[in-house]
Amino acid sequence: MHLYETHLPVQNTERALTFYRDLLGLELAYRDPGRDIVFLWVGSKEQSMLGLWGPDTEYGRISGKRHLAFAMSLPELLAAAARLNQQRIITTNFLREKTAEPSVIGWMPSAQIYFEDPDGHMLEFIALLDDAPAPSFIGSLSAWQQARSTTRSQP
């Protein structure tokens, strides 16, 4: 099982399309000619989809910020975080502290970086890690890697 689609209300579908397509690299799937709605493929075509609903649509009038996480490999996450920072998009860690370095949530374990889209929705790039869980750990990726290398080097 996997998540097939999710939808976000946006104030301007053209601005949102530019952000998600040009900055995040999602592929345009369909733009509804009769309604202010844009659909984008997330990852492989026809595997997962994001709908962006303009303010004149029923779903687009629903207020409130949403959270959406995009799964990727750790190398993809690191490259994406660097790309976001080059575009002057503010990235934060799990604790919402401004940083360019991904944070790690140890119980999963996963590395992630957070940022906002033009409508203020909280987006997350997340990479599941192959390491053993450490439920009490929440910190930077570099601290996680240091702790893992110390654990592996102990007899």
Q: Is 58 strand, coil or helix?
A: coil
Q: Is 60 strand, coil or helix?
A: helix
**Other CB atoms within 10 A of residue 51 CB:** 20
Tell me the residue range of the domain where 99 lies.
65-155
Residues 97, 57 within the same domain? no
Residue 109: asked if its preceding bond is cis (omega within 30°), the reply is yes
**pTM of the entire predicted model:** 0.90
Q: What total of structural domains would you count in the chain?
A: 2
What does pLDDT average to over the chain? Answer: 93
Residues 95, 124 within the same domain? yes
| Domain end among 63, 85, 108 | 63
Residues 59, 118 within the same domain? no
CATH of the domain at 82: 3.10.180
- The pLDDT tens digits of the residues spanning 14-67 come to 999 999 999 999 999 999 989 999 999 998 888 899 999 999 999 999 989 999
